């Protein structure tokens, strides 16, 4: 347990989320009432906040356990700003919060119920064109295209 787990327990008490023991040494804080963040479950230290009615699967517990380990590796609270930087990078690179997010990828995208999206920008920032190349009757296909 680290300081981020204490923060999670305090938040659960303030929000009146019932606590129950969970797999992998985690604690479940049920019935999280706020709109932010938008996920069905999220982790603060070893505390996993879940929305009302969410059925936690073994895969989702493994995913959230991965985040708890990431908190420990980051020595607790530094995980939070690092995670939000990774969210920003993923939004910029792929247009969603998870596909290029190092923390979501290492916790297991599919375990967490995420679908991997292809990048929309190259490393250097240029937007990638995902549209199919157009074929012109008067010449070869456009660069990168394939003949029809």
Total number of domains in the chain: 1
Question: Which residue segment(s) compose the domain that 28 sits in?
Answer: 3-78
Residue 109 lies in a domain: no
For 1-55, the pLDDT digits (tens) are: 778 999 999 999 999 999 999 999 999 999 999 999 888 999 999 999 999 999 9
Report residue 72 as tokens: 């420990």
Residue 101's pLDDT is 97
Residue 12 lies in a domain: yes
Residue 16 lies in a domain: yes
Residue 83 lies in a domain: no
């Amino acid at each position: 347990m680290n300081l981020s787990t204490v923060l999670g327990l305090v938040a659960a008490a303030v929000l009146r989320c019932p606590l129950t023991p969970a797999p992998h040494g985690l604690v479940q804080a049920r019935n999280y009432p706020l709109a932010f963040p938008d996920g069905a479950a999220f982790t603060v230290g070893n505390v996993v906040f879940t929305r009302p009615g969410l059925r936690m699967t073994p895969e989702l517990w493994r995913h959230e356990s991965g985040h708890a380990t990431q908190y420990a590796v980051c020595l607790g609270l530094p995980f939070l700003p690092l995670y939000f930087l990774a969210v920003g990078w993923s939004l910029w690179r792929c247009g969603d919060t998870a596909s290029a997010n190092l923390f979501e990828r290492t916790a297991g995208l599919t375990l967490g119920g995420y679908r991997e999206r292809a990048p929309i920008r190259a490393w250097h920032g240029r937007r990638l064109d995902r549209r199919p190349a157009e074929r012109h009757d008067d010449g070869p296909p456009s660069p990168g295209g394939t003949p029809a």
